[in-house]
Amino acid sequence: MRALLTAFVAVFLTAQGALAQFYPDQTSPTINDFAGLIDSATEARINDRLAALKASQGTDIVIATLSSVSFYAKDMTIPEYATGLFNKWRVGRDTPNDGILLIVFRDDRELRVALGAGYDGAWDGIAKEVIDADILPAFRAGDYPGGIAAGVNGLIEKVAVPFHNGANAPVAAAATPTPEDPASLWWLLLPLGLIGAVVWGGRAAAKAIQNARKCENCGARGLRPERVTLEPATANSTGRGERRATCPSCGHVAVTAFTIAMLSSSSDASDSSGGGGGSSDGGGASGSW
């Protein structure tokens, strides 16, 4: 009786674990519209753009629309789920790891652009610009196909192509207050790190704050951030990495560890259309409407 009860508990816990985190199979190498947000004409136009990008420089941009994160993963945030799905589908190439995943959660009214591990933290801010300028205005007007199409165009023109051409992520200039907007004068009084936090969000905000933070060894500012993969994730285990902040004055390095989500197995990848071997360590940006 005890053995039977033990077996039942083991099966129950296994089932609960499976329900706690579920990634749908990739149905297309480009558009996986599980939430039904994209009409056929827009889908054809997006596919044409993504095919041209793939043919010209080999970069993969994959779109996924889902209902809500709680339906697929009870205990994960949207950024965590997006990273996990990126690694499950193995978006893009493993070298230079330049894949991009645009994932929209219809019922949560949130979206995420997940970037391959080849992009450093500065590109998170550009992804945030695309979300705020190209996608969210259309979404707030109820135009999901138009927002997704505009987002794809923005990601191609502002992220994928410049990165492929070897450009560094550009730094956006702070807006200058106008007489018609006197309340914006308070921006001038904020530290540079806080401005970066508001403009960029996510990891880019952490990077700006880090740049304004004093070195714990000598007190100098302007720490140089770097993200390093120590052990790449595999199909059987998570990977390890470090975020390093180097002081340009004394050379001191502050280190913070992070975990890289597990990749899908090669058999899983073969079951999903378009999987190429790319991985993400959590880079990207989010938005809501």
Instruction: Render pLDDT for 230-253 as a digit per residue (tens, 0 to 9).
Output: 666 565 666 676 667 778 888 888
Neighbouring C-beta atoms of residue 146, cutoff 10 Å: 18
b/e map of 41-52 (b: 16 or more CB within 10 Å)? ebbeebbeebee
DSSP 146-208: HHHHHHHHHHIIIIIHHHHTTPPPPPPPPPPP-TT-GGGGGGGGS-HHHHHHHHH-HHHHHHH
The 3-state DSSP class for residue 20 equals: helix
Token pair, residue 12, equals 């129950």
Instruction: Render pLDDT for 186-222 as a digit per residue (tens, 0 to 9).
Output: 444 454 444 444 434 444 444 454 455 678 888 887 7
Token pair, residue 176, equals 């200058």
Q: What residue ranges do the domains of the chain occupy?
A: 21-169, 171-176+186-212, 214-267
pTM score of the predicted model: 0.64
Cβ contacts of 17 within 8 Å, gap of 6 or more: none
Q: How far is CA 88 from the centre of its chain?
A: 14
Confidence (pLDDT) at 222: 74
The 3-state DSSP class for residue 36 equals: coil
- CATH architecture of structural domain 21-169: Roll (3.10)
